[in-house]
Structure formats: structure tokens, C-alpha cells
Amino acid sequence: MSFPCACCGHRTLQNGSPSWETCPVCFWQDVPGDDWKSNRMTLAQGQQNYAQLGACAEAWVKACRLPAAFEERPGDWKSIKTRREEALAHLEVVLDDAFGGVLRDGGVTLHQMDVLDGYGSPADLAIAASRDPEVAWREVSDSKLMSFGMSLVFLDAKGFRFYIPAYMRLVARHIESATYSGLCGVWFALRGSAYDRERHYALLSAAQNRAIVTFLSIMRELGDPDECGDADQCLRAYWDAIP
């Protein structure tokens, strides 16, 4: 019995994963997770290289061979790229279903967070709110989300419910990036602390809670290694218990 290589998908391994074997077709070493000591790249990078070069890395092109007929891929095998594309399409539907009709409804805006952080006046808050005229969360630009993605701590429950689907969609669209720069506040906001549960999650519906679980589950399974760890921590800390 043979087993498929995690990188190229061909049945070249003699033992179940992790076998520590090196695939003769793509030269990927079958190790637990993304072990940089062995492959020095993520599995997604290795798969991309194999699709372009015929090897998981340019250095191994001459060491690789073509797969034999009996080493064909399992019928249900998919690359990480394909799985990510399918997961993102699914998440888009889930977010639209759960958060589609959500309005800000007077909640704290992104620019108002800075005013609250600086103990600004009511007049300052009004001016800040005018800089965030978006009616639907889909209207918030990626650049604006990035500008405020380091911390969402000053959002109230209405503001959090309005902005969190936009942030989840942005992170998922850049799922291949290593801890997408400027968005670490999203992970902190989903850690399930007592503060977040009281201030941020209070107005979330059951469907919206499940949408967040879907996002975190996708990121844990298919995200960059750093994001996998962030998502796993969020799920274990709070969201895994959500029915």
C-alpha cells in the first residue's frame, strides 16, 4: 500500500504521514507540519513550485522523476491553492448570510477609536464619525481596514458586529500571507477574553458566532503557519465551545 505525498499528491510514500520519506517525484520530505529544517518552505510554496518546476524547489529539479502510472493521485486530492479558493468562496457566502443586513446603527467607527484612545471630546467623536460614512460593511475599503487593524479594542458591540465580517474577509483573502501585516488586532479581538465577550460579542447572533467559527476553522486548516497558530488559539480559548 502506498500513500500520497502532501506536496505533489502522487502515491510515492510507503508509510503513512508523517513518514519522514522524501518523495522521488517532487523531493518534498514528509515531515509533521511545515518543518523549515527539512523543506525550508511552506507546503503551499512547495506545491506552487512543483506546478511550475516539477520539483518542490528549484534546487531539486534534477533529482526528481516523473510519476509512474501506479503512483497516480487519489481522485479527491486537491492542492492547498484550490482548497483555499473553495474555502474563501464558502466563507463569502457564510459572511453574507450571517452579516448581510448588519448596519453600524450608531456604533463606534474606526476613526472614532483613535478619538476614544486620546480621550477626545464629543465634538471630536462627531468629526471622526463623519470620516466613516459607510452604510454596509462591504463598503469599507481594505486600506482603511488595514489602517486600523492593529487594535479593535475601542469598538463597542455595534461597531464590532459591523466591522468584524469585513476584517475576516480581508484576512481570508490574504490567507497565503504570513500574518498579514497590520491585522494582528483581529486575532486579539477573537481571543475570547472576558472583556471581548462582554464588550464585543454581546450582540452577535448564533449565525454570526458560527460564521466566526467557520472563519477561524478555515484559517487553522489552510492559513499561513503563523495564522494557523493564531486561529487555533482563538478556537481553543473560546470559539470551539460555540454550538
pLDDT digits (tens, 9 = 90+) for 98-142: 999 999 999 999 999 999 999 999 999 999 999 999 999 999 999
Residue that is written with C-alpha cell 522523476 in the block:
65
pLDDT of the residue at 232: 95
CA gap 88, 106 in Å, rounded: 30
pLDDT of the residue at 35: 61
The dihedral through the CA atoms of 159, 160, 161, 163 has a sign that is positive
Instruction: Break the chain into its structural domains and give their ranges.
Output: 3-71, 80-241
Whether the pLDDT of residue 11 is over 60: the answer is yes
- Mean pLDDT, residues 197-216 taken together: 97
Whether the pLDDT of residue 179 is over 60: the answer is no
Q: What is the pTM of this model?
A: 0.90
Q: What value does the mean pLDDT of the chain take? A: 94
Query: Whats the size of the chain, residue-wise?
Result: 243
- The pLDDT > 70 percentage for the chain reads 95
pLDDT of the residue at 181: 59
SS3 content of the chain, % helix, strand, coil (to 5): 55, 5, 45
Residue that is written with C-alpha cell 500520497 in the block:
4
- Mean pLDDT, residues 180-192 taken together: 85
Among 72, 6, 56, smallest CA distance to 33 is for 6
Q: Tell me, letter by letter, the H, E, C secondary structure of 117-161.
A: HCCCCHHHHHHHHHCCCCCEHHHCCHHHHHHCCCCCCCCCHHHHH
DSSP 8-state class, residue 5? -
**What's the pLDDT tens digit per position in 26-74?**
999 999 876 667 898 889 999 999 999 999 999 999 999 999 999 999 9
Specify whether the CB–CB gap between 230 and 179 falls below 8 A.
yes
CA gap 174, 138 in Å, rounded: 16
- Mean pLDDT, residues 163-180 taken together: 85
pLDDT of the residue at 32: 83
**What's the pLDDT tens digit per position in 211-222?**
999 999 999 999
pLDDT of the residue at 103: 96
